[in-house]
Structure 1
Amino acid sequence: MAVFHYQGRNLDGSKVSGQVEAATVELASDALMAKGVIPTEIKLGKKDSAFEFDLSKFLTPAIPLEVLVIFCRQMYSLTKAGVPLLRSMRGLTQNCSNKQLKEALEEVTNELTNGRSLSSAMQMHPKVFSPLFVSMLSVGENTGRLDVALLQLANYYEQEVETRKRIKTAMRYPTFVIAFIVLALFILNVKVIPQFSSMFARFGVDLPLPTRILIATSEFFVNYWAFMLAAIFATLFAFRSWIQTSNGREKWDKFRLRMPIIGSVVNRAQLARFSRTFSLMLKAGVPLNQSLALSAEALDNRFLENRLLEMKSSIEAGSSISSTAINSRIFTPLVIQMIAVGEETGRIDELLVEVADFYDREVDYDLKTLTARIEPFLLVVVAGMVLVLALGIFLPMWGMLDAIKG
């Protein structure tokens, strides 16, 4: 959360000042009012200690989607059964096993006791409840259909869980192969090649080029491994710092969509997520421009997010959805056609669900065949390693045999 410095007065009229953590200025003002402080000035600032290091930010894991699915399902059942909201929240807080979610629910329950709505109370915890989650609950509260909103969120997160599981399953084999290749290279350079190098040095034979390359690589690895590790960590740190910038993050996310073999899979998965999220928001009654902004944020891709926000600005300026979708150049003809038909018939949410289901099937097929497409590349890498190693070791041995026979 952001840190805001404030000045104000207590209920007795005395002046007070300090700092408060909140997601927005409005939430900071609400938090101060709840404490009995009337703010006169609130401005964004930094924490008092310039060298304060919050280790919990790095050690606290993100809440698994499975936990959110269970929470939405339980909340839906209790709301559908007519159990009062405050009683439902207290019961779910007591039975919650995830520490981070439990702490957030405890604070949400306290805010509900003070008269705050459920969506505004959850908005104070953006690391636990996403803007999509909060907006859906806000619409459900305003329309009196909170149970429907919770059911839609549960179905949405279940679909996300299934997609992530398929991706993890497809990437397991290539990850293991690459890990074993790296391990084999380490053992060869540290243990195996130095033994052959000392043996060749004792015989004093002329070494062929592949052998000299292997020995030079091994000596560099053994003598400068600390510098190699430092260079790797420095490169990773520089890369992470670069992608944290807005320009770097957008370029990296654009590159992810253009990567060979897996780029098309990532692109289709992102389009499926956008279609499902956009349809979900429209079906719940969220305004079009807000639905587009929330769908862009849910993608977790800065390049696509910026293009969608440009679409939002064009739509607010009076352009149609289909024309802005064409100008964005991020959608396939199928998505554009469905958007155009849905815009004409007023059933854009239903057609986007069809698009999402289509792309989910495509992604599922691509993930099942991903291993078969990656295997030739991995075989070439392994075969190249074996060839270089065999030539580097056996060529000088054959030379030694010829020298002995001669």
Structure 2
Amino acid sequence: MEIDVSGYKKKNVKNSKKRKEFPIIFKGGVNDKLKMIMYRELKVMLKSGVTLEEAFTLLISQYKNKKLLSGLKRIKSELLKGKTLVYSMSQVKFFTPFEINSLSVGEQTKTLPKVLEELELFFEKKNKLKSQIKTVLTYPTFVISITFAVLVFMLRNVVPMFQKVFRQFNSDLPSLTRRIIYISDNFSYFLLCLVLVFVVICFFYFKFRDNASFRRISSGIILKLPFIGSMVKAIYLSRFCNALGLLLGANVSIVDSLSFIKEMIIFYPIESSIDGIKKEIIKGKSLTNSLKEYPFYDNRMISMIKISEEVNQLEDMFNYLASLYSEEVETKSKRIGVLIEPIIIIVIGGLVGVILIAMYLPMFDLSKILNSN
């Protein structure tokens, strides 16, 4: 049975607009790990025959996160008034349209535990992807911070100390030494320029981040970056396939599923393609031929979707593709980590080495003069 949730979707979009225009009751979000645990526990309780009101009473007693607690109490309050679970959860702002609409399908088809299980798996995969990205970025960020601190120390303390010694010799300094001393003398100015550049970049980002042209150009640059670009693409393709697998498994139509994905995945190549794909499907085109029009969706994905359309197994194929891209992200993240470490060590060694060589060059020149005398 295929469920039409277009009416509820329109209502939800309307509510999402209000969130931008009016103050939000529950500001901020709840992290994916907490949502994963919440959906898992709610699923287990419902399968055990616990009522929704009792389930939320138990959930409230288990969590300490203030935002989540406020939301759970609001949901319980609405349930006690006789409202549905979907309506109650829609009153809490940290649940996305994707979650609300998925649960709406579960309520209509009386498959709520199954939808809760799918949401649990969805947030588990999403949390795993985030953890992988954090793991890749943590080491380089730490090392770069230490490197910057070492460079600041050397330019502000070590180089001026050598400079005092050089003044006593009254001899011409090598070109490299003069340049390092110039950077040291004007370090505050260069640091100010660096901060100003950073502030300007942040200003332009926050000012134009919702601009379609800016998002198209920035996402295009990211996707073309060596190593990083292919990993970012795999991350968003994994989310795309994972979301479609969940929604199709809940008997949401392919057109409505794409609409939910547009609200859920904030990445320009996917968002900009959704409306076009929907139009082609409504005209009678297959999903495979619709996806072919957009280069972001790779040939492997399109070929496998074509096979699944022929045997009417789209849900299983999207779940398989989501796992495939998740594994690809994991492999790429490990590979990037292995490549970044030696590159960072070489860069750090090079910067520190250049400064030390620049400081010791005049010493070598002086020793030559002394030996010749």
Structure 1: distance between partners of 2:24 and 2:73: 23
Q: Higher relative contact order at CA 8 Å, sep ≥6: structure 1 or structure 2?
A: 2
Q: Is the 8 A contact 2:151 2:352 kept in 1?
A: no
In the alignment, is residue 303 of structure 1 matched against residue 269 of structure 2?
yes
2:211 to 234, 237, 245: 245
Map of 1:205 onto structure 2: 171
Structure 2: distance between partners of 1:330 and 1:191: 50
In the alignment, is residue 93 of structure 1 matched against residue 50 of structure 2?
no
Uncovered stretches (5+) of structure 2, i.e. residues with no partner:
1-10
> Percent identity of the aligned residues?
26
TM-score by length of 2: 0.88
In the alignment, is residue 155 of structure 1 matched against residue 145 of structure 2?
no
In the alignment, is residue 117 of structure 1 matched against residue 92 of structure 2?
no
Structure 2: distance between partners of 1:237 and 1:325: 35
Map of 1:278 onto structure 2: 244
Q: Is the 8 A contact 2:216 2:269 kept in 1?
A: yes
Q: Given the superposition, is the C-alpha separation of residues 378 and 55 from structure 1 closer, same or farther in structure 2, using an over 3 Å criterion?
A: farther
Structure 2: distance between partners of 1:290 and 1:385: 54
Cα distance, 1:147 vs structure 2: 0.9
Within a 5 Å distance, the mapping from 1:349-388 to structure 2 comes to 349-388=315-354
Map of 1:73 onto structure 2: 40
Specify the code of the residue in structure 2 equivalent to 1:164: K
User: Deviations for 1:130-168, whole angstroms, at most 9, x for unmatched residues?
Assistant: 111111110100001111111111111112222222222
Q: Given the superposition, is the C-alpha separation of residues 342 and 73 from structure 1 closer, same or farther in structure 2, using an over 3 Å criterion?
A: same
Q: Is the 8 A contact 1:23 1:124 kept in 2?
A: no
Structure 1: distance between partners of 2:25 and 2:162: 49
Q: Is the 8 A contact 2:79 2:85 kept in 1?
A: yes
Structure 2: distance between partners of 1:186 and 1:56: 45
Q: Give SS of 2:39's match.
A: helix
Q: Is the 8 A contact 1:190 1:222 kept in 2?
A: no
TM-score by length of 1: 0.81
Q: Give SS of 1:327's match.
A: coil
Q: Given the superposition, is the C-alpha separation of residues 185 and 236 from structure 1 closer, same or farther in structure 2, using an over 3 Å criterion?
A: farther
Map of 2:234 onto structure 1: 268
Q: Which moved more, 1:165-174 or 1:67-76?
A: 165-174
Q: Is the 8 A contact 2:43 2:113 kept in 1?
A: yes
Map of 1:335 onto structure 2: 301
Map of 1:255 onto structure 2: 221
More strand, by proportion: 1
What count of residue pairs does the alignment treat as equivalent? 362
Q: Is the 8 A contact 1:275 1:352 kept in 2?
A: yes
Q: Given the superposition, is the C-alpha separation of residues 189 and 236 from structure 1 closer, same or farther in structure 2, using an over 3 Å criterion?
A: farther
Specify the code of the residue in structure 1 equivalent to 2:89: M
Map of 1:401 onto structure 2: 367
Specify the code of the residue in structure 2 equivalent to 1:63: V
Structure 2: distance between partners of 1:55 and 1:388: 53
Map of 1:8 onto structure 2: none
Cα distance, 1:75 vs structure 2: 0.8
Cα distance, 1:377 vs structure 2: 2.7
User: Over aligned residue pairs, what C-alpha RMSD do you find?
Assistant: 2.7
Structure 2: distance between partners of 1:25 and 1:372: 47
Structure 2: distance between partners of 1:146 and 1:46: 32
Specify the code of the residue in structure 1 equivalent to 2:64: S
More helix, by proportion: 2
